[in-house]
Amino acid sequence: DSIPLISRKDVIDFHAKYYNPENTSFIVVGHISPDDVIDTIYKLFGDWKKSSEFSLPEFKIEEKGNHFYVIDRSDLTQSQIRLGHIGIVRNNPDYFPIILDNYILGGGGFSSRLMERIRAQKGYTYGITSSFSARRFPGPFTISTFTATQTTTEVIKEILYVLEDFKHNGPKQKEVFDAISFFTGSFPLKFETPSSIARQYIEIEVYGLSDDYIETYQENFSQIKKEDLNRVSNQYLFPQKMIGVIVGNKDEFLAELKSLGDVEEMGV
């Protein structure tokens, strides 16, 4: 309902407030002359005036127990499931062990804990992933999967079981070794193209990362110990504070889902 109410002036005001020189960085990668690039930027943007004082909005994060939002689609034979909670900022000093930890939990494809339990052992889904989206503000930790309608609640139970176990027991030593090998071995792929190189440098700029971020990237992973992952598993995973969104035929799972937390029905 709000979209038709947006006026041209609203768009212009938004652009003037948030698109401004003090909030902009240029990253240029290619077979080019730095002097030519600087001259071009000054020609195109030299008269770009500063806007009014820029400030990021404040976000209030409400923490509560497991809470599930259900969107009823009686025509579906499968349920789409998204679970998550508040994660981390990008410049968190634990960023590297957290990303390594998540690779073992649900980011590492068929080798991950979630995939092993819910696909390989239980046969409830063809795929399940987890990720930390680290941003300037705490981004979400999310788990994404789908399953047949009749196994909706069972899948959520299994996800919570895996999270609880991983939170308290952490990964195995071989899992740590394999995850470190993946991240250190795949590092050169981040510099295959000009676009991927630019992406690395814009992250450094936007998130205020250290100047030696690229030079120390592999070392930051290779020096991680199992004890580090045990700590971050316990510190950053909250299986009792999950927010869930389930889209599916509610008549098949709603009553059982209520045993796992608060349930709220929503329309679309």
Give residue-wise pLDDT tens across range 75-126: 999 999 999 999 999 999 999 999 999 999 999 999 999 999 999 999 999 9
Q: At 199, is the pLDDT very low, low, confident or very high (cuts 50, 70, 90)? A: very high
Residue 37 has pLDDT above 80, yes or no: yes
Note the pLDDT tens digit of each residue in 216-231.
999 999 999 999 999 9
Q: What pLDDT does residue 215 have?
A: 96
Give yes or no for a contact between 233 and 167, defined as CB atoms under 8 angstroms apart.
yes
Burial 21-36 (b: 16+ CB within 10 A, else e): eeeeeeeeeeeeeeee
Give a yes or no: residue 50 inside a domain: no
Domain encompassing residue 16: 3-45
Between CA 114 and CA 164 the distance in angstroms is 12
Name the residue among 3, 31, 67, 47 with its Cα closest to residue 238.
Answer: 67
Q: Which residues pair with 140 in a beta bridge?
A: 86
Q: What pLDDT does residue 52 have?
A: 67
Residue 48 has pLDDT above 90, yes or no: no
Say yes or no: 189 and 71 in one domain.
Answer: yes
State how beta strands 67-72 and 243-248 pair.
Answer: parallel
Give a yes or no: residue 223 inside a domain: yes
Say yes or no: 72 and 165 in one domain.
Answer: yes
> What is the rounded average pLDDT of the residues 198-207?
95
Say yes or no: 181 and 251 in one domain.
Answer: yes
Say yes or no: 71 and 41 in one domain.
Answer: no
Q: What pLDDT does residue 243 have?
A: 96
Give a yes or no: residue 51 inside a domain: no
> What is the rounded average pLDDT of the residues 173-186?
97
Say yes or no: 167 and 242 in one domain.
Answer: yes
pTM: 0.91
Residue 54 has pLDDT above 70, yes or no: no
Say yes or no: 168 and 224 in one domain.
Answer: yes
The number of CA neighbours under 13 Å toward the Cβ of 70 is 23
> What is the rounded average pLDDT of the residues 187-200?
94
Q: At 59, is the pLDDT very low, low, confident or very high (cuts 50, 70, 90)? A: confident
Give a yes or no: residue 86 inside a domain: yes
**Dihedral (Cα; 106, 111, 113, 116), 10-degree rounding:** 120
Say yes or no: 78 and 204 in one domain.
Answer: yes
Say yes or no: 125 and 37 in one domain.
Answer: no
Say yes or no: 13 and 113 in one domain.
Answer: no
Residue 56 has pLDDT above 80, yes or no: no
Q: What pLDDT does residue 66 have?
A: 96
Residue 41 has pLDDT above 70, yes or no: yes
Say yes or no: 40 and 123 in one domain.
Answer: no
Name the residue among 90, 58, 107, 68 with its Cα closest to residue 241.
Answer: 68
Say yes or no: 81 and 41 in one domain.
Answer: no
Instruction: Report percent pLDDT > 90 for the chain.
Output: 86
Note the pLDDT tens digit of each residue in 69-81.
999 999 999 999 9
Q: Assign residue 226 the CATH number of its domain.
A: 3.30.830.10
- Quote the mean pLDDT of the chain: 94
Number of domains present in the structure of the chain: 2
Say yes or no: 105 and 139 in one domain.
Answer: yes
